[in-house]
Structure 1
Amino acid sequence: MQKQDSNIVFKDYDHNQLMLLPHNLGDLLPSEHPVRVVSTVVDKINIQPIFSQYSNMGASSYHPRMLLKVLIYGYLENCYSSRKLEKAVRENIGFMWLSGMQRPDHNTINRFRGEKLREVIREIFSQVVLMLYDEGLLDIKDVYTDGTKIEANANRYTFVWGKAVKKSRERIAKQLQELWDYAAETAKEELGQPEEKFENPSPQKVLETVEKINTALQGKEVDPKVRQKLRYAEKNWPGKLAEYEQKEETLQERNSYSKTDEDATFMRMKEDHMKNGQLKPGYNLQLSTHGHFVVNYTLHQKPNDTTTLIPHMNAYRQMYGAYPETLTADAGYGSEENYAALEQNGTSAYVKYNYFHKELREENRKNREYRLLENLYYDSQKDRYICPMGQPMERNGTRTRTTATGYKQEYARYTASKCVGCPLAASCRPGKGNKTIEVNRALERYKSEAKQKLTSPEGIQKRKQRATDVEPVFGHLKQNKGMKRYVLRGLEKVEIETGLHAIAHNLSRKAAKAA
């Protein structure tokens, strides 16, 4: 002890104090520290798939198990930057212990994350989930599914819109048609060509057409504005059309993309305190959870949740060899195609549909109008409906509708015969002539079965559990882990980043339960 003049006693302090033996860094970490959970789990999983990403030529490499531990623990500790991870393995005891005092630089860490984990991150994630399942921490057979939008690491103000590209192509086609019509009227004999229609012309077609028009108008008295437009068309339109073709190839079936991350689509995100929608480049993240553990994750480039469920479930099957036994989701997934797929896969679906809650409200049940389908009696033997006045509505046709995903829906058409003069016509709202309705019999069956499940005691419990199972995971990732905006760019790298977030989240949950 050192005594001062003021009689205050301090402990001895000398930061240059030598030690007889170096510390074992593990002795400085508590036994329940999350870094130990990361190390133990990664030591148990099979990382042989990562080995195939390495070459047996050249200098020796850092061990992938060590780099994987550093990355997962980094995501658990909100350290995502490769430069910050490089600093952490030099200064942070937990990282130094995981790395065995090795010091990979940020380029090594970044290449390992972006290249070596590209094709194996889902396999590593599934191994971790199955390990937690074997320990009884979660149930992969009963899942709760929901989605959220995550902003991409892209410029919010440099974008390409599919409608703008389409209009620009149409504008060029229209102006090319006007030039051709002018030439056909001014030099019909010289042109010597039948009338043409230019729809979606190619760059080569534009050049050939402009050359024909110039040849036909040679020596003719031509409006100077036409000459100017022909020169402009020859110089600019082929390049513009080639640019539009490239943009449409990038768009595929999307309506937009960011120029700084072409895989990101502009989506409406409600992130401010007033819940005002803002269009930002992002990805649609779908999660399936159980007990706040992430069981499955997929990323999508379309903002609509309805079209994501089938590929999300297919990814689940690829990881675990079978579909889940039960799935609970909100009304954003309640489509005929999704109900049919879940039924075919043998999954018991607790999935809401539009107007599910509206139908359950007592005031709606008391004030239903006669135009609502639920008030019409269906005669299944004769395949017809009976209107409130007792008049039959016979079936007189079928309409087929194909969705954006290629799924075919059939709508049966039923028409009444005596609507004129009916005292209930005002409530029935037939419009002109007799009332006609179109009914999707398959969807009505799925909705009826879903309603029966959702209103059962088990269904009520699952509806409550969904709101407290998957949604808190999104809240934790966004608010506590800062996962409001991705760090990496491109769909492949963003999927790796999402996988690391999901693994780190699950291991943090395991560590919390063990503490």
Structure 2
Amino acid sequence: MKYLKGQNRSQISLFPVSLDQAINADNEVRLIDVFVNSLKLEEFGFRVDHIENGRPAYHPADLLKLYIYGYLNQLRSSRKLEKECKRNIELMWLLKTLRPDHNTIANFRRDNPKAIKKVFRETVKIATYFNLIGGTLIADDSTKLRAQNSKKNNYNQKKIDRHLEYIENKLAEYNKALAESDGDKKQEIENEIEKQNQRKDGYKKIEQELKKSGQRQISTSDPDSRHQITRNNITEVAYSAQTSVDAKNYIPIDYKITNANDKKAMGTMLRRAKTILRHNDFTALYDKGYHTGSELAIADSLGIPAIVAIPPFSGASHAPDLRYDVEHFDYDPKTDTYTCLQGHTLRTTGYWHHAKNGAGETAYRFRNYTTPKCKSCEVRPLCTKSAANGKQVRRSEFAGNIENNKKRVQESEKLYKRRQAIVEHPFGTIKRQWGFNYIITKKYMKRAEADFGFIMSAYNLRRIINIVGIKKLEKYITSIFSVLCSIFDLLELFLNHRNRIQYKTIKTICYEIRIPGHLIKLNFNAPGKGF
């Protein structure tokens, strides 16, 4: 039986193949090369000015190309990227056979979180140019990404107290045994007592750090990470990645790494979305985790119709008979009164009470509404569980915003059903297909944001490539790059020869640059008039 045979490894080629010939014309590494070369890295914040002394540094463009290639091919580890530089022919072409070590690679990601965010912004601009972003409907959500910190190395006061109590009990046992022992066994017990005292000192130190931080919990391996619920009753020490995704092609337009839940995230993300889209004529969809009165008030103040799912009432909020829940009472904004199902009017004294959050701070203000007729009402046992004061209706200062949202939810049920399909599309690709369900960097939120920034940039590039195609995308980026080169050449020429220009005869120099879909006109004033 015949088989295909490979080439003899010892055979010498008469016409050796260059690296460029080994890479196909439509290979995406060529696109990565053109994309990074088109970026203004110094303006983004990447360091390009290094001192001449010592060993030369790697240019940030080369390291950025390496990372974009790595994340597009599910490679995030600096050690794996170092290894690929020595054996991967695509990376050899992309980096021109440069082989940075893993420390250099890791430090580049660690030191440039803000600049990496601007690279992501460039992917959004490219998507906008190709009309891939509609800007009329966005969906926001968060996903939990495990941090490089085990549950064992995350502490709250309750957990510290439990460990200290265990140590105290052990010390009591050892001291009792020490009093009854002698000889070699006595030395062994003393060693155990010393170990427990060292552990006790360690937990006391963690307790001091926890009190000093003012937080409810502290992580020792990655200080900014927090113990959070990921799904159902499953918990992890993780970061929360907030994202805003445009509905037209499921392209993320913004992201933000936090270590908190979703309750206070909507207002910030809406402000950022408004800045990115440059208008507020869009609808934003959120799940029930974002349903907070103060955040709905921010959405209304921005003029953005946010549609946030309404969470169910808690058991304590329900009346004994669900027909007498507060939601069935009528509120009159003119008289600032409620009318119950029995026709009684509930009024307020006008005094603002303060509801506190877990940290003891004021979360919101509210007024209480009551009626004296509640005491003699025949349906009182069905309406309230209070035996002394009767029914009390609590109305938040943000009640109007909550009611406006409720109307939008009722009017836009079909629209809201699209939320999950929009915002879960990137998460499904990133976490299920690519396996990026954890943060690879360690220590501090800024480093976690750099890692997630590369994830989002790679996702956007992959999405744009799949929709537009490599050739069309490369042609566009190449055109932009040539335009920038032309502008810089023109500026250099003008600055070098501006003194020779006769102001009396030439008042303005005009220059036009044409690229697909754009016409750029540049006007340079004569000497003394500036640009």
Give the 5 Å matches for 1:115-130. 115=111, 117-130=112-125
1:246 aligns with 2:209: yes
1:262 corresponds to which of 202, 214, 223:
223
The superposition leaves residues 326-380 of structure 1 with CA deviations (integer Å, 9 ceiling, x where unpaired) of: 3211111011111011122232212222139x9xxxxx9xx98442223223333
Give the 5 Å matches for 1:103-502. 103-115=99-111, 117-139=112-134, 142-164=137-159, 244-250=207-213, 252-253=214-215, 255-270=216-231, 277-290=233-246, 291-302=249-260, 304-313=261-270, 316=273, 325-355=282-312, 369-396=322-349, 397-403=351-357, 409-429=364-384, 431-433=386-388, 435-440=390-395, 442-456=397-411, 459-490=412-443, 491-502=445-456
Going from structure 1 to structure 2, the CA distance change for 1:433 and 1:268 (only over 3 Å counts) comes to closer
The superposition leaves residues 46-99 of structure 1 with CA deviations (integer Å, 9 ceiling, x where unpaired) of: 211344464333232222112101101101101111121112122222222211
Structure 2 SS opposite 1:88: helix
Report the residue type matching 1:286 in the other structure: Q
The question of whether the paired residues in 2 share the 8 Å contact of 1:151 and 1:282 is answered with yes
Going from structure 1 to structure 2, the CA distance change for 1:400 and 1:85 (only over 3 Å counts) comes to same
How far apart are 1:131 and its partner, in Å?
2.1
Give the 5 Å matches for 1:33-52. 33-48=27-42, 49-52=44-47
Aligned alpha-carbon RMSD (Å): 3.4
How far apart are 1:16 and its partner, in Å?
2.9
The question of whether the paired residues in 1 share the 8 Å contact of 2:156 and 2:210 is answered with no
Q: What does residue 81 of structure 2 align with?
A: 85
How far apart in 1 are the matches of 2:455 and 2:123? 13
2:51 corresponds to which of 41, 47, 56:
56
How far apart are 1:143 and its partner, in Å?
2.1
How far apart in 2 are the matches of 1:151 and 1:336? 29
How far apart are 1:160 and its partner, in Å?
1.8
Q: Once structures 1 and 2 are overlaid, which stretch shifts more, 370-379 or 59-68?
A: 370-379
Structure 1 SS opposite 2:392: strand
Give the 5 Å matches for 1:67-78. 67-78=63-74
Count of residue pairs the alignment pairs up: 426
How far apart are 1:31 and its partner, in Å?
4.4
Identity %: 23
How far apart in 1 are the matches of 2:281 and 2:9? 58
1:13 aligns with 2:7: yes
Structure 1 SS opposite 2:366: strand
Going from structure 1 to structure 2, the CA distance change for 1:385 and 1:454 (only over 3 Å counts) comes to closer
How far apart in 2 are the matches of 1:83 and 1:400? 53
Report the residue type matching 2:115 in the other structure: V
How far apart in 2 are the matches of 1:259 and 1:165? 13
| Residue segments in structure 1 that go unaligned for 5+ positions in a row | 1-5, 171-234, 359-363
TM-score, with length taken from structure 1: 0.73
The superposition leaves residues 448-507 of structure 1 with CA deviations (integer Å, 9 ceiling, x where unpaired) of: 221222233xx3343122111111211211111111222210222111100000101111
TM-score, with length taken from structure 2: 0.71
How far apart are 1:262 and its partner, in Å?
1.6
